[in-house]
Amino acid sequence: MKKVFIAIIAVLLSFTGVSANHSDGRIKINIVLKSQSDVTALSRMADAFPTKAERRDFVVNTLKRQAKESQYDLLNYLNALETNGVVDEIRPLWIVNSVSCMAEAMLLDEIAQRDDVLVVYQCVEFRCLDDDEMIPVERGDGREIAENLLKVNADKVWELGYTGEDVLIAVIDTGVNLEHADLQGRLWDGGAEYPNHGYDFYSHDNDPSDGRGHGTHVAGTIVGTGASGTQTGVAPGAKIMALKVFNDDELTETTMWVEAMQFAVEHGADILNMSLGQPMPDAAVKLMMRQACDNTLAAGVVAAVCAGNVRQMQSMIPIPYNIYSPGDCPPPHLHEDQLVNAGGTSCVVCVGAVDFNDAIAAFSSVGPSVWTDVAQYNDYPYSSGSSANIGLIRPDVSAPGVNIKSLDYSNNSGYCLKNGTSMATPCVAGTMALMLSKDHELTPAQLDEILERTAISLSTHKSNDFGSGRIDALAAVNAIGDDGVVENEKDMVSIYPNPAKDFITIVETFPETSPETSQISLINIDGQFVGIRVQKNNQIYIGDLPNGIYLMKIESSEGVFYEKIIKE
């Protein structure tokens, strides 16, 4: 019992924040502007581009232009203060329209009163990684495949010819041991500007070397080639971009995470791996993280994010705040079990941890999350015991996260064991890389939906323990090109009139059966759930809907059918 108590105290201390400041008393602040992108409108415009690359370029350029225009007066003001010696290290961002800087504390009120500023807050450094030791283990014999890879059937996907080739994953973490033998040939070519395969956002230099080991272990689970004896990488044909956001004492601060996300999106990462998070952040930090995740989704980029490791600390970090942020941000695809309490979407696929028997890991954080505490979003309400206000179900999926063998940062050919949702998350990122190597144009929503639909179910419904279940890489890859939706042939389902003003009539004509329609729901052109509709004499009332195009989902005993309808 004493050992457990000491461990809990250690974790609590690791979450204690310390001000990010200079010896001269200046503090780091982040200034979020009132002018933020309309992510719904941005996504709608981006949908017009035929490829993911074109979509990304459009979104990045649009966000940059909007930020440059709206930050003009603020930057002039801050530059003048810099000349006077009271501000420095000014860093504009565009993935969220904000500016961070070091400033004298007396300036906070003055900056907050500006007409163009939404909120200004002091940035606080903290430790968010668990102190679970890394246990060195022997190298394999050259044929060994790590047990977590076998558990999710990654080896069977390789046999199909998919290894993650041409997929780039940004590892936003403590850095990476760039010299490890099992990572050679698997590192991003950053050219002359970024010669060391990434960037250090804590020190703001070109050396993302790992001084703690967490990031190297994560990287090994994604792309470790097995050169030293054990195959640890789910997607050994992919490449990683090393983005360091911690110092070597494990201190970090969330604006660094956002900077790294921005860098990854701009420089072509297909997937972000974020085995990090902050428990119980204040509303300003939550707003910053969700806006970054919203705009990352608009750019067509997906993120695998850990749920957190504080399941056993619910007395101090209670539901609905037990999930780390940004793992508490919504997924790209809303599961049918979420539709009773639907809200917005973002790039985050939240990952919980199971052991090798598919039992929930004792540390794996438990959902749901809630967003009514951030006024700019105010969605996913939660009331304990409510069947309607269920919050945001977290996580989305689970993966092995107990006794995971991967790369040892302190030995260029070594391996070690480690536990955590941090270790489960790169298994999901690697699986998404395998999926993209089969079809690189899969959207974040498609990746998430397929992962959830093909996961090994460990609960009756999508749950706040396992999500939709433990991932199965083979099933996910095999499902690509088979979305599980029955094509609506004209002799099976028809809708008239279409376009319509007030009522539409559904006629189901099946050759041999008399199906029962269980549910009819509508999705608007932005991909948002509109509501469930009730049939009366085969008619559905749509007169209360705004004019526009909708997708109607018809679930019956014969399958699931989709029809596009136009409301006039």
Q: What pLDDT, on a 0 to 100 scale, did the predictor assign at position 14?
A: 46
Which of 125, 126, 114, 124 is CA-nearest to residue 32? 114
Among 457, 479, 501, where does a domain finish? 479
Name the pTM for this structure: 0.84
Distance CA 533, CA 516 (A): 15
Burial classification of residue 526, based on how many CB atoms lie within 10 Å of its CB (0-12 exposed, 13-18 middle, 19 or more buried): middle
Does 488 map to a domain? Answer: no
**11 in any annotated domain:** no
Q: Which tens digit of pLDDT belongs to each residue from 485-507?
A: 334 444 456 778 888 888 888 77
> Are both 74 and 220 inside the same structural domain?
no
Task: Assess contact for 168 and 268: CB atoms under 8 A.
Answer: yes
Based on the domain organization, do 205 and 290 belong to the same domain?
yes
Question: Which pLDDT score, from 0 to 100, does residue 298 have?
Answer: 98
pLDDT at residue 2, as a whole number: 31
Given this model, what pLDDT does residue 563 score? 74
Q: Are residues 394 and 422 in the same domain?
A: yes
Mean pLDDT value across the chain: 90
Q: Are 286 and 372 in contact (CB under 8 A)?
A: no
pLDDT of res. 20:
59
Q: Return all residues near 1 (Cβ < 8 A) that are at least 6 apart.
A: none
Give the other-Cβ count within 10 Å of 513's Cβ: 10
Separation in Å, CA 136 to CA 139, 215, 217, 328, 423 = 9, 16, 12, 32, 16
pLDDT value at residue 132 = 67
Are 97 and 241 part of one and the same domain?
A: no
pLDDT tens sequence across 278-297:
999 999 999 999 999 999 99
The beta-strand segments (E) located in 335-463 are 348-354, 397-400, 404-407, 415-418
526: domain CATH number is 2.60.40.10
Task: Using DSSP, state whether 417 is helix, strand or coil.
Answer: strand
Cα angle 250-87-260, degrees, rounded to a multiple of 5: 40
CA distance 441 to 136: 39
CA distance 173 to 423: 12
Domain range for 62: 21-122
- 398 and 258 assigned to the same domain: yes
DSSP state of 336: G
In order of 19, 305, 330, 369, the CA distances from 294 in angstroms are 28, 14, 9, 16
Domain assignment present for residue 72? The answer is yes
501, 458: one domain: no
Number of domains in the chain: 3
Coil, helix or strand at residue 196: coil
Q: Please say which residue of 101, 122, 143 terminates a domain.
A: 122
Any domain includes 541:
yes
Residue 129 lies in a domain: no
> Residue 537: pLDDT band by 50, 70, 90 thresholds?
low
d(CA 400, CA 404): 7
Shared domain for 458 and 511, answered yes or no, is no
516: confidence class by pLDDT, cuts 50, 70, 90: low
**Cα–Cα dist 240/171, whole Å:** 7
- What is the CATH number for 92? 3.30.70
Q: How far apart are the C-alpha atoms of 554 and 144, rounded to whole Å?
A: 47
Strand partners, 271: 169, 302
* pLDDT score, position 320: 98
Do 67 and 145 sit in the same domain of this protein? no
Q: Which two tokens stand for residue 241?
A: 């971009």
**Model pLDDT, residue 263:** 98
Q: How many CB atoms lie within 10 A of CB 101?
A: 23
In a domain, 556, yes or no: yes
Identify whether residues 159 and 97 lie together within a single domain: no
Instruction: Give 244-269 pLDDT, tens digit per residue.
Output: 999 999 999 999 999 999 999 999 99
pLDDT at 543 over 70: yes
Boundary of a domain, candidates 434, 455, 479: 479
Which whole number is the average pLDDT over 548-561?
Answer: 70
Q: How confident is the model at residue 536 (pLDDT cuts 50, 70, 90)?
A: low
What pLDDT sits at residue 535? 66
Residue 334, CA atoms < 13 Å, CB-side half-sphere: 20
- In this predicted structure, the answer to whether residue 4 has a pLDDT above a threshold of 50 is no
> Are both 358 and 461 inside the same structural domain?
yes
Q: Is the pLDDT of residue 243 over 90?
A: yes
Tell me, yes or no, whether 179 and 144 share the same domain.
yes
Question: Model confidence at 568, in pLDDT bands (50, 70, 90)?
Answer: confident
Express the helix, strand and coil content of the chain in percent, nearest 5 each: 25, 25, 45
Q: List, for residues 320-342, the tens digit of each pLDDT value.
A: 999 999 999 999 999 999 999 99
Identify whether residues 386 and 431 lie together within a single domain.
yes
- pLDDT tier at 468, thresholds 50, 70, 90: very high
Looking at residue 347, which CATH number applies to its domain?
3.40.50.200
Residue 451 lies in a domain: yes
d(C-alpha 360, C-alpha 352), whole Å: 8
- pLDDT number for residue 281: 95
Q: Cα 454 to the chain's mean position, in Å?
A: 19
pLDDT at 12: 40
- Judged on CB neighbours under 10 Å (0-12, 13-18, 19+), 161 is exposed
Give percent of the chain above pLDDT 90.
79
Count the residues in the chain: 568
What pLDDT, on the 0 to 100 scale, is given for residue 505? 85
Of 95-99, 369-373, 525-529, give the lowest mean pLDDT range: 525-529
pLDDT for position 386: 95
